[in-house]
């Protein structure tokens, strides 16, 4: 049987969002400018009952562009939005997108082509992380989120030289039939639902592939407080994912928690054995040296204020994630906790 080319496939784009009034218009404009044929494109914006004007803005787009539909997500979190969109989709191919991201015209056709031509069940591209604004803090947060020292070997964040099979991709492209085979997104996972879903694909004999020259532009959080809350929540849901899949998916997930434990352990241990203070000081000094080494070239490329902000942003990212991971151990290993309540996770992604 001849496989229809990517441009002949009907594609459903699912955009979960919640309180994204500052970004959703740019996101939708970029999707509408896609090189994929407009008559073969359906855009489902699944809103988590936004109260900041997002819903009204989406409704206006839906009035002006018949391909866009606004769907309600009473559950208010990403996995419920994705499942609502999947059930409503009419396309053969489903592309998950994010309201905080802008996509180049070739993004959809390139991913659809890679899905149909390759042997993967989930394909995705790389994120180019942009600052939320022009302030040194926002620039530093964006740098931290795309630096190997900041996020480890997460190839979709730091880039890759060639296409490769990976453990997860940020915004997947799937055949709709895949969900009949492996199930829908896990609605307990307010964060990190992509990780668990990708693992389920692999466990069922499928593959997840990163296409590095397919990129989208992700706007990072603009303040240290927002970044800290986001990474705390990312860390807090990792143990729950680990419990569901039966293992820690990547070693890099453990490093921030181990760093926090080392600092706390040596600080408390000093009370019993004072020489441990030297070990704690050594760990802190080594970390500070690495942070300084990352900040030095930034001072030359972005200025001293951005470099100083980076020296704060990196510890914020690492400590927030590590503390969140340790906090999540209780819920992830031993039972239900407040992190399962969507009302306690106010961010949209």
289-304 confidence digits (pLDDT tens):
999 999 999 999 999 9
Residue partners of 28: CB distance under 8 A and separation at least 6: 15, 43, 45, 58, 61, 68
In the chain, what is the greatest distance between 2 CA atoms, to the nearest angstrom? Answer: 74
Yes or no: say if 92 and 175 are a contact pair by the CB < 8 Å rule: yes
Per-residue pLDDT averaged across 22-43, rounded? 96
173-228 confidence digits (pLDDT tens):
999 999 999 999 999 888 889 999 999 999 999 999 999 999 999 999 999 999 99
The pLDDT of residue 336 = 53
Yes or no: say if 131 and 139 are a contact pair by the CB < 8 Å rule: yes
Tell me, yes or no, whether 265 lies in a domain: yes
Tell me, yes or no, whether 78 lies in a domain: no
Instruction: Give the DSSP letter string of 49-85.
Output: ---SSHHHHHHHHHHH-TTEEEEE-TT-SHHHHHHHH
Tell me, yes or no, whether 31 lies in a domain: no
Per-residue pLDDT averaged across 62-75, rounded? 97
Range of the domain at 322: 251-344
Torsion angles phi and psi, residue 60, rounded to 5: -65, -40
Q: Which residues pair with 165 in a beta bridge?
A: 209
Q: How far is the CA of 248 from the CAs of 154, 237, 244, 251, 291, in angstroms?
A: 15, 12, 10, 7, 26
From the CB of residue 78, how many other CB atoms can be counted at a distance below 10 Å? 29
Instruction: Give the DSSP letter string of 228-247.
Output: HHHHHHHHHHHHHHHHHHTS
Torsion angles phi and psi, residue 315, rounded to 5: -60, -35
H or E, element range at 312: helix 304-334
CA 26 to chain centre: 18
pLDDT confidence band for 25 (50 / 70 / 90): very high
Residue partners of 248: CB distance under 8 A and separation at least 6: 242, 254
The helix/strand/coil state of 129 is: strand
CA–CA distance, 155 with 160 (Å, rounded to integer): 6
Tell me, yes or no, whether 268 lies in a domain: yes
Tell me, yes or no, whether 50 lies in a domain: no
Buried b (16+ CB within 10 A) or exposed e, 34-51: bebeeebbbbbbbbbebe
Tell me, yes or no, whether 130 lies in a domain: no
Tell me, yes or no, whether 141 lies in a domain: no
Tell me, yes or no, whether 30 lies in a domain: no
When divided into structural domains, the chain yields a total of 1
Q: Quote the mean pLDDT of the chain.
A: 91
């Amino acid at each position: 049987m001849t496989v229809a080319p990517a441009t002949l496939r009907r594609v459903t784009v699912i955009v979960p969002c919640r309180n994204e009034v500052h970004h959703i218009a740019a996101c939708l404009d970029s999707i509408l400018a896609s090189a994929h044929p407009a008559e073969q494109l359906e855009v489902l914006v699944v809103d988590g009952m936004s109260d900041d004007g997002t819903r009204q803005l989406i409704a206006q787009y839906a009035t002006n562009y018949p391909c866009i539909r606004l769907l309600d997500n009473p559950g208010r979190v990403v996995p419920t939005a994705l499942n609502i969109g999947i059930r409503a989709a009419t396309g053969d191919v489903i592309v998950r997108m994010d309201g905080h991201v802008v996509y180049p015209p070739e993004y959809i056709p390139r991913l659809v082509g890679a899905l149909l031509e390759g042997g993967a069940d989930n394909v995705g591209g790389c994120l180019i992380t942009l600052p939320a604004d022009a302030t040194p803090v926002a620039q530093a947060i964006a740098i931290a989120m795309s630096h190997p020292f900041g996020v480890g070997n997460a190839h979709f964040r730091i880039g890759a030289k060639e296409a490769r099979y990976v453990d997860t991709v940020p915004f997947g492209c799937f055949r709709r039939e895949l969900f009949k085979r492996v199930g829908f997104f896990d609605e307990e996972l307010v964060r990190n639902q992509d990780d668990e879903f990708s693992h389920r694909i692999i466990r069922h004999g499928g593959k997840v592939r990163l296409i590095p020259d397919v990129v989208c532009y992700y706007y990072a959080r603009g303040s240290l407080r927002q970044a800290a809350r986001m990474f705390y929540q990312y860390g807090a849901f990792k143990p729950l994912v680990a419990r569901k899949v039966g293992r820690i998916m990547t070693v890099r997930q453990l490093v921030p928690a181990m760093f926090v434990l080392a600092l706390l352990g040596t600080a408390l241990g000093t009370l019993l054995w004072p020489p441990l203070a030297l070990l704690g000081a050594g760990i802190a000094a080594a970390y500070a040296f690495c942070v300084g080494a990352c900040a030095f070239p930034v001072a030359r490329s972005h200025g001293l204020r951005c470099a100083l902000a980076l020296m704060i942003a990196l510890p914020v990212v690492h400590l927030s994630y590590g503390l969140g991971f340790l906090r999540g151990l209780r819920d992830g290993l031993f039972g239900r906790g407040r992190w399962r309540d969507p009302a306690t996770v106010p961010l949209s992604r």
